[in-house]
Structure 1
Amino acid sequence: MPQDSEQEVRLQFLEEAREHLNTIETGIMGLGTDGVNRQTFDGILRAAHSIKGGAAMMGFTTLSHIAHRMEDFFKVLKVGKAELTDGELEQLLLKSIDLLNQIIAINRQGQSIEEEWLTAHVSPTFDQLHERLGDPQPEDEASLLAEDEGGQDMAVMLFESEVGATLERLEELLNQENPACLAEEFDIAAQELGGLGEMLDMQAFVDLCQSVVDHLEAAEGNAQVEVAHAALQEWKRSQAMVLIGQKSAIPSALDLGLSPTVVPADQQEADAPIPAPAHDLDTADLGLFSSESLFPDAADLESFIPEATEPVQLNAETEWDNLLPEPSEDEAVEAFSELEDFVLTTSEAEEDISIPTAEPAVEPIAAVQQQKKRDSAKAFEPAQEQAAPERTIRVPVSQLSQLSELFGELIIERNGLKLQLHKIRELMGLMGQRVQALDQANFRLRSTYDHASTQSAPKLVAAASGASSPNSDLALTSLADFDLLEMDRYSGLHLLSQELMETAVQIREVTNDINTNLNEADQTARALTVTSKELQTSVTQVRMRPLSDILGRFPRMLRDLSLQHGKDVTLEVIGGSTLVDRSILEALNDPLMHLIRNSFDHGIEDSETRIAQGKDPQGVIKVQATYRGNQTLITISDNGAGINLDKVQARAMQLGIDQETLDAASKSDLLDLIFEPGFSTAGQVTDLSGRGVGMDVVRTNLQNVRGAISVNTEAGIGTTFTLSVPYTLSVVRVLLVESANMLLAFPTDSVEEITLLDPKQVLAHIDQGAIRWNDTVIPMMKLEQWLSFPTPPRQPDTEEAPLINAPMVLMLNKGDDLVAMTVDRYWGEQEVTVRQVEGEIPLPTGFAGCTILGDGRIVPLMDAVGLLTWIEDQQASGSAMPTISRDNLSPEAPEFSNTQPQIMIVDDSINVRRFLALTLEKAGFRVEQAKDGQHALEKLQAGLRVQAVVSDVEMPRLDGFGFLAHVKSQPDLKQIPVVMLTSRSGDKHRNLAMTLGATDYFSKPFREQELLETLHRLVQTGA
């Protein structure tokens, strides 16, 4: 462990010890007059115990020893000698607290504590306390251990004495080689114990005893011995449950799955499961959810503004067409001429554009991204002329790019602000609890103040009688004339008490003011979200235009070509509302026109030929646009004859490529030749094609805007050209999921639905795995099988928890098909900023960039289609990973795939947890922390996977014994090893822990190497 880190933890523990001493001091104030309050002394004992155990672990031996003595005194006061409390005892205890504070101050300064100083200053006070109170007796320890707040002393006493004696007698009987009348003895014991349960109103214990009787009557021969062993184990567990105040965890039926092996009592470990308590939560069947409907109130911090986040289904193309009427050919030529002059007159190297100063808002980006329906042909119909032309200004593209980047930073800061407000809200809730406790203390102080006021009145009158003022006689007469209830008398102590009470009231007022301001800050944050969305729409509107702006003229062009050349061809457009950067959109005009004309000329046959081939007489050219990661994909496909590869090879040989090279070339290599300058397979030159310049121009224009083009063809089926250009949107909505301990972001437009993984729907007999979804069989891939990291990613420390801590299935869109992808957890949906990863090394296939969350975490942005295509290529080439089957799928949260085992530390002292965490992390473990048994149980029930637990015993809400009992009673948790680490070194605590199922037991201070060796052994055994 680094020296500075260890020292920091030690110093912080000393600060924590001071807080514990303040708690003790507050609790014993008024002890001489009010006596012992058991509830108050619970907190005092817990504070003293925390100082003792923590100090021993941190190496503060003297502090631990003195705190131990003080804890013993408090035990005696609570259970046996409360009548000895008086003012003198209260003074001695307060003096002992002062001495502990001095010891803490010496430790903070790094000085050693001299034995002479202890003898001269500390020992006298503690010796006086010892003379008055003595030491706690063994029966005091037992009473403290068994006592609970519900007042179950009678049950504890009976189960410790009567039930204990019965179980010892039955155990001796079982240890005999051939016990006589075994069934009869156990039957009698079951009836006696059942009657005891009825007397104590413990119905679960009564049912357990009746279950034993029923099993004994049904069993014969050796089966009765097995029933007897199981009954003894369950009765002993039930006894332990009563002793620690966990009666709700008592089983109500006999579990014959228990091992019949009997071990000596001093070595006995509880291996049998304890039936789950009645209040355990059932697993909810969440069913199927879409990516937009899943947990609408929790999936995103913006979900409290439905009107700002709900996608609106608009016809974007119609709106755009209303803004820009379709020009005639002459107007188009004139407009492009003006554009060329405009570009040439720009004084800078960057491109200038015209920006409308007032333009109606278009639909949100999320709605545009999610629109997948086929665009109607009426989207290209010209709209009516607007009444007046819009005013425009010139702005360099570089400034728009900078504006877009700044907006992305604004989104990051906005998400961070909302996260901080959420944390402040949680802290205010905690502060409210503290203020409520302060109000209770204020009430007690006021009561004490009123009581002290009535008692101090005679002294006040006596003091007034001795005054030397000329008016003293009059004052004395005035005071004497009033009763105590008729006239308040005040002293300096009373005024100080009144001031303290007023301060408490003022603190609550400040707390209320903070809550009011926090509510206003939340409203401001919500307004900021709305404004940022409007700003996003405006920035997008300025920077980008829908693809339909240039596609609108193509239906008319194709109609004219059909009439001119006698072909029946129609144009279908899907995704015309897809937004493209203005500069890129202009660069796409010529390539798209060339590709459509080539599809018409080379691809689509005439009607007679198509009828002869059994095709529809009408040919179809389809233009489809969509987003994929950080790219915009535009496909131009036709259902014609396809590209004749024989003609391509023949033309390549004419250009000088030898036959051997052509024979070795793949299909994609041959198709790539059509983009070479001067390459054409046309038999003759026409006004449409044959000059060998079209495809070359297409690729050159795309490369100028950092785009690319590819082609695929099938003889007799058709040809598809795929254009990819940069997708310049800086903000997208994503689903945050986790796989192989790595947080990943999938754009929402690539996800059709998200659902819980149901292993029953997995079809294991199909190669590579498949899942049945909505009566359809869909291929399924397990993402973590394809994500390989040289260094296993470590899950960052965060207080947040995933929305769904269970395996999920993403239904990903891949063209017209769906592919199921399994992930480990679902963290929610939010709007994020896209960031490109700069550097010489290209991103792996399937990754489109990254994003930064509000808490600063960097998350990879996934390219779903690219990832699926790469996986399919790997499978086709023989590099497929293991297939998916029901055997390797579970509805439980999966184990971590990295090599570092995870250990949970459960302790109510944050500094003890940090100290242990540093020790375990140095040894190679990953650490999860919980502040008490209840907190730890909630984390485990939520799906947290750990290889072992290290738990303290004495903690608020749910102590270590209660936590151990709950863990061992739940089938999905009972296999987790639990190691107890406590300052309780007595055999009684150890035996109780081992009976409840503890794997090992360590007392503070512990040997670090021994604990680490135990944890390594448990992890290796569990693996």
Structure 2
Amino acid sequence: MKQDRELEIRRQFLDEAQEYLDTLDATILGVSNHPIESAKANAALRAAHSIKGGAGMMGFQVLSELAHRLEDSWKVLKIDKSIVVSPRLENLLLASVGCLRQVVEFDRESMQRHQASCVDAEWLAVEAYPVFDALHVELGDPQEENAASVLSPEEGQDIVPLLFESEVEGCLQRLEAVLATPDQPCLREEVSILAQELGGLGEMLQLTNFIQLCQSVSQQIEHEDANMIEIAESALKSWRTAQMFAIAGQYEQIPISINGTVPEVIDFAETPAVLEPSIGDWFTEALAADAIEDVGYTDFQPIPAPARSAPPEAQVTDFKVLEAEPEAIPVAEDQDTTVRVPVRQLNQLNDLFGELTIDRNGLDLYLKRLRSLSRTLHERVQILDQVNSKLRTAYDRVTLSGSRSLSESSTRRAGFDALELDRYGDLHLLSQQVMETIVQLQEVSEDIDLSLDDTDQSARNLNKTAKQMQNGLSQLRMRPISDVLNRFPRALREWSLQYGKQVRFDMAGAGTLIDRNILETLNDPLMHLLRNAFDHGIELPNVRETKGKSSEGVIEIRASTEGNRTIITVRDDGEGIPIDKIRDRAEQMGLDPVLLDAARDEELLSLIFEPGFSTSSQVTALSGRGVGMDVVRSNLKQIRGEISVNTKAGLGTTFTLSVPFTLSTVKVLLVESAGMLLAFPTDVVSELLLLQPNQIIQTPGSEVLNWQDHMVQLVRLQKWLQFNCPRIPHGFETPPTIATQSVIILNQNPQWFGIQIDRCWGEQEATNRKVEGNLPLPTGFSGCTILGDGRVVPLVNVTELLRWVTSCERSETQPAIDHAFRDQLRASLTQRPELPGSSVPTILVVDDSINVRRFLALTLERSGYRVEQAKDGQDAIERLEAGLSVQAVICDIEMPRLDGYGFLAKMRSDNQLSQLPVMMLTSRSGEKHRKLAESLGAVAYFSKPYNEQVLLRTLETMVKSIVAV
């Protein structure tokens, strides 16, 4: 248990180290253009120091060493105001932070494999150490100065009181929280960590008394196991005393040791107000983790000061100035508790909630069925009652006629005539029994109705609770888009320095919340769009000035929420996308010039999203490699997203991305067209109206409706969606809400469309499911939904369907023009022609870990390769079959959907792909795994961690072999 907790703390430190690295990046960006602000320099210095100290404590020695060297560089920059940061120095600082990021990833992978921290020595010697050596050459060693003055936010200001008011206060409050916990878990470790870290702070600030006090605490812990609680409380009191003296500036009064019993210290209730504690070094988060897991802050109570004698008179005199207007230390009850939850568990909850939605819909369906059966039962009982009434009347008639024929002797013996005494036969008894049974059935029917009413109420409560759960789960999965956008300023700055372009990056709506899975999927598309905007859009400063523009270009990303969708726009003020170049390039790739001349600008622009299409004749490290924009569209399609482009020559280009608010559930409009059930997402539906024949206006080649002063193009689905297989009537139990022909109004800016349907069952909440298999979905569909009765209904991709229909309607041959654009393009791509000047090989990296893919991509790009990524074997196969041209593949073994072995098998069964060399890179180092991979055709096999130089040499040989062929 203790080992698991230590691992969790180390993981949390690596997460926090990323935040510190983000702080360093934000500080470094643009320092060659503007002087370093003192506050930012302090933030960078403290970030480097926090990484250094925390990494050393956690056992990440390489990370600690490199962070220490970066800290020394920042000390020089802080002290020597005469240093002018050149673009070269800015690049070195950014590169040093990049090295630290890679070391963090190395350490994270080592922890996942439950191994000790292991950083490749050759990588350090070739990649990391030269960067820090170059920094040392540029800046030299830091001067011997007081550390407090180095960290001071303003010249002449003493940082010690500030640190004791913020950092030390935060640490002590965490210790108080642990002491307030009834069972006080891992108290020894908490106090030991706190003593070491505070001691390190004392060394940095050169406070001898405080260092000795922390050493005294450590010694007490080592020698007095039985009194841990008493030692912790005594240490807390002594540290509080030291804090008061430090804030007052009387460092010589700080106590140097503690005793085994609680010492007599000043009353903390009369301490001055302190600054709100901020999250500082790693141990703050580490201590918080246990407090978060075991107790709630709302349960904490201030620890009462024990009775004690008055302090000496001299001490009272020293602290008189602090007694005016005292304020209580903020209690932790106002803070929100947090828990770290693996994303995998959130995804599992999301999948389970999807199943719950299906079950809820099934429950509602079955309740409706039961209600219908109950009504039928009522009707049958009423009919039975009427029959029984007729039967009783008939029996009475028979009885009266039969009574006259009874023998008079029988009557005399009884002493009564027929009018004075009724006589009953077997038929009467049977009739009476039937009547009583009918009454009993009526009572059971009423009981069923009452039970159904209760069940309906329970179902409504369940639906209400489930919707609240859905909202809560959606909020848990939300992350601000700034998590992705904050990585872009550094990339732009590096490109600006490398390529000599001046670019300003603007963000709006950075706080817009997006589902975590959607956000991860958006990372690569947004990076592709940013790269293309910088490389193809923004001109060089002298070119912009000749056009009358500012020498500084602008790339802007805006995010906002509209209804159930999130809209993201990526805009640049560059030269725009040349339509003529697109037409010429398409003609060079084999498309029919007649079709190209007839195509609209929107259709031509859509070609940039086809695999392998590029108007760039020169390959650069940024773009022009013939792949990339197809990734944007394919990734967006996975999350039911859409993309459109608008460009103006000389003014710039705007890409508009539209993605759903969440992927967990989708509200759909369930309709029928030509006997086929379809589901339309409600977030694209503007209105549903009845189709009136007199509203239809015939135009050449199409039909339109006049709706609210808009000319709406009418689309009849039965004309476009034709299925050759026989269809069985679906036999829906629930009657349709609208049983006559209707029109769904859709707004596809700037055009309006109306889709004609036959029947509609209204809005339903459903679960979105991907359709697995080798056969692609027809054009215009993006997945399916599952109804409560288990029926699978295709989910319509409205934008894709309407784009296809519009393209077909513009030609007399209808679908021929659309297929011509796609088929001819893909046929030309099958030949895989090289772009003019294209000599940089492309490598496909296949791994289910996005961090592994990014790290490997960074390594390969630094070595001069272009890199494409696939999330698993199935994704890689689909992209290769779609026309992606690569010279080699680096593939993992263990992946979802299609693993590495399955990928190799499919590659060897495809004539066009069978000669493509594949290198396996996996954590499996067993000989059995290696032999199986080699038997399936793998050219090379590497296990993690790997020797980077050996891997690159092997990859170079593989690429040369395929080029020679």
Bigger RCO (CA 8 Å, 6+ sep): 1
Q: Same fold (TM over 0.5)?
A: no
TM-score (norm 1): 0.39
**Higher CA-based Rg:** 1
TM-score (norm 2): 0.41
